[in-house]
Chains A and B, each alone.
Chain A
Amino acid sequence: MTAISVRGLRKAYGPLEAVRGVDFDIEEGEVFGLLGPNGAGKTTTVEILEGYRSRDAGEVSVLGHDPQRPGRSFRERIGVVLQQAQLWPNLTVRETHSAFAGYYARPRDVDEVIELVGLTEKRDARVKTLSGGQKRRLDLGVALVGDPDLVFLDEPTTGFDPAARRAAWEMIRSLRSLGKTVLLTTHYLDEAEQLADRVAVMREGRIVRIGTPRELTTGGSEVEIRYHLDGEEVLLRTSEPTRELHRLTSEALARGEELDRLEVRRPTLEEVYLALMDEQSE
């Protein structure tokens, strides 16, 4: 089953075209990452899907609903973690969860959710006393308390220290094991690589590449071999580097030549990503 389907989505703010024709599908139970630099149109895309913004053109279906007319039954089934939202500073962790639980027809058990996001020890602490990482866990907790089928996470670890990021990643992985569909935006490559089943790379309002993190690294197992011949660089991409190297080196030995500036390397996701960012900026 398809949880989210987007076709030809467009959105402009005045003269600024934030989203310029975006297509993708997200299957139920999938963790889908929207990756791209700031200003690529990720948040605009997600906020259209969440029901915050209208679209200028395109077809959008989220859990069978048109988010442009978000009804109560739509709100019942989504959970949202916004980039910069705060919660009431003077309520406790438990009171905050209970407040949100009350908005939903079939909420999860509040204490269970608090345990899931690892705030059991802080359940009676006021929100304003929580650390940044704990506040993000609270955001996730209140997003889960309504037992949604689909969870939107907008840059869930921006500004985290490495330990807090690891903890957040663990939690997002646990969403998958709960069977939730997750749409995650991030500008961190490693985050997309670690968490997402599939990644769409966005740039300047368009999706420039879509696939599993492995597919994105040029077909997965390909290796680059470079050397120079008569002053010209030769670049070979191969999935059989041993055989290819053997051929090259035996030929060179037979000719009694050195393979000038020989180099063998595998492109990282980062290089693929940066190359994508460069090649689009015409």
Chain B
Amino acid sequence: MKLYLHQLRVEQLVYWRSREAAVFTFIFPLLLFVLLGSVYSGRIYGVPASQALLAALLAYGCAMVAFAGLAITLTLRREQAILKRLRATPLSPVVYISSVLTSTLLVFAAETVALFLLGRVVFGTPFPARVGSVILLVVLGAVCFAAMGVGLSGLIRSGEGSSAVVNLIVLPMAFLTGAFGPTHHYPRFLRAIGDVLPLKYLVDLSNAIYLHKHSFWSQGTSIGVLAAWGVAGVAVAAFKFRWEPRET
């Protein structure tokens, strides 16, 4: 437990110190919120556009922090042999992975709070009516997308290529699943692709909880699909995750 808290502190320090990672994964969704919120006006899904964007970008933030961020940093740390070096210390793999996941969850929780504060200050969006459900959403989203991020890092070969590969996945996924705005005017085949991607179900869940004030537990389909993707991430991670650089 002491080791876990120690490593959690180290992970937090490493995350916030790395300006590239923090800007790319933490600031970017906030920036997009302000930009898109200034561009879109009127109503989306029967609510003010800024609220709909807030719900959508909350899901996007999860994809950035938990999925993109973890996939890139874990790949880099593997290729730089930082993971290999840590393996030689008394820090166990289980404690290490748990503290990395907790650290990711903390960052996404901070992102969520920042989004609601920013929305309130800039666009006058309300705070969520169902705080408990938002917390459950944050936890489920962080865990599932982090599992997929760890799995993806096992599939990426080189450290330099990692952010290109990850962007190639996250950006189209965000467009196709409504994380940047509604997709109902998209061609049907694009929407069909979006319908199988995990981010779609986090956007749905976020909309349901924040915009329509439904409870977390009433959204069985979204929870189920997200959990299935999370399990798939764990399965890939179990087979493909490595502690040592690829070239050795």
A103 touches B89 (CB 8 A): yes
Distance (whole angstroms) from the CB of B25 to the closest CB of chain A: 15
Interface residues of B in 58-108 (CB under 8 A from A): 80-82, 84-85, 87-92
| CB closest residue in chain B, given A88 | B14
Choose from A76, A86, A87, A89 the contact partner of B90 (Cβ within 8 Å): A76
A103 contacts B3, CB within 8 Å? yes
- Judged by a CB distance under 8 angstroms, whether A177 is at the interface is no
Chain A residue at minimal CB-CB distance from B79 = A86
* In the complex with contacts A84-B81, A85-B82, A102-B6, A75-B14 CB distance below 8 A: no
A188 CB–B CB distance under 8 Å: no
Enumerate B15-34 residues with CB–CB distance to A below 8 Å.
17-19
Chain B facing A: main interface SS: helix
Is A241 on the interface with B (CB-CB < 8 A)?
no
CB proximity of B80 to chain A, nearest CB, Å: 4
- Chain A, residues 79-104, CB within 8 Å of chain B (1/0): the string is 01010111111110001000110111
Residue B10, interface by CB 8 Å: yes
Are the C-beta atoms of A52 and B244 separated by less than 8 Å? yes
Please state if B88 and A90 are interface contacts (CB–CB under 8 Å): no
A246 at the interface (CB under 8 A from B): no
* A52 partner residues in chain B, CB cutoff 8 A: 84, 87-88, 244
Q: How far is the CA of A255 from the CA of B18 in the complex (A)?
A: 84
Of B18, B85, B90, B91, chain A has the most CB atoms within 10 Å of the CB of B90
Instruction: Evaluate contact between A105 and B90: CB separation under 8 angstroms.
Output: yes
A52-B87, A82-B85, A91-B13 known; A72 vs B92 contact (CB < 8 Å): yes
Question: A103 contacts B91, CB within 8 Å?
Answer: yes
A100 touches which of B13, B19, B89 (Cβ 8 Å): B89
Verify A86–B82 contact, CB threshold 8 A: yes
Determine if A50 and B89 form an interchain contact, defined as CB atoms under 8 angstroms apart. Answer: no
| Assembly CA distance A155 to B89 (angstroms) | 20
Q: Given the complex of chains A and B, what is the CA–CA distance between A82 and B18 in angstroms? A: 24
Q: How far is the CA of A265 from the CA of B85 in the complex (A)?
A: 46
CB distance from A82 to the nearest CB of B (A): 6
Q: Across the interface, which residues of A come within 8 angstroms of B91, CB to CB?
A: 103
Nearest-Cβ distance from residue B151 to partner chain A, whole angstroms: 23
Q: Which of B13, B17, B84, B85 counts the most A-chain CB atoms under 10 A from its CB?
A: B85
A95 proximity list for chain B (CB < 8 A): 13
Chain A neighbourhood of B244, CB < 8 A? 52
A41, CB-defined interface residue at 8 Å: no
Given contacts A88-B14, A103-B3, contact A50 B88 (CB under 8 A): yes
B84 contact set on A, CB distance < 8 A: 52, 82, 85
B10 partner residues in chain A, CB cutoff 8 A: 99, 102
- CA of A11 to CA of B85, assembled, Å: 22
B19 CB contacts on chain A under 8 angstroms: 90
B82 near A87 with CB under 8 A, answer yes
Contacts of A82 in B (CB 8 A): 81, 84-85, 88
Give the Cβ gap from B18 to chain A, nearest Cβ, in Å: 5
The CB with the most chain B CB atoms within 10 A, among A52, A87, A103, A142, is that of A103
Closest partner residue, chain A, to B247 (CB atom): A84
B89 and A146: CB pair below 8 A?
A: yes
**A90 contacts B17, C-beta separation under 8 Å:** yes
Could you jot down 19 A-B contacts, CB within 8 Å? A52-B84, A72-B92, A75-B88, A78-B88, A80-B85, A82-B84, A82-B88, A87-B82, A88-B82, A90-B19, A91-B14, A95-B13, A99-B10, A99-B13, A103-B89, A103-B91, A104-B89, A142-B85, A146-B89
Ranked nearest first, the 5 interchain pairs of A and B with the lowest CB-CB distance are A85-B81, A90-B17, A102-B6, A86-B80, A80-B88
Beyond A85-B81, A89-B18: 15 further Cβ-contacts under 8 Å? A50-B88, A72-B90, A75-B88, A82-B84, A82-B88, A86-B82, A87-B82, A88-B14, A88-B17, A90-B17, A91-B14, A103-B89, A105-B90, A142-B85, A146-B89
B: residues with CB less than 8 A from A are 3, 6-7, 10, 13-14, 17-19, 80-82, 84-85, 87-92, 244-245
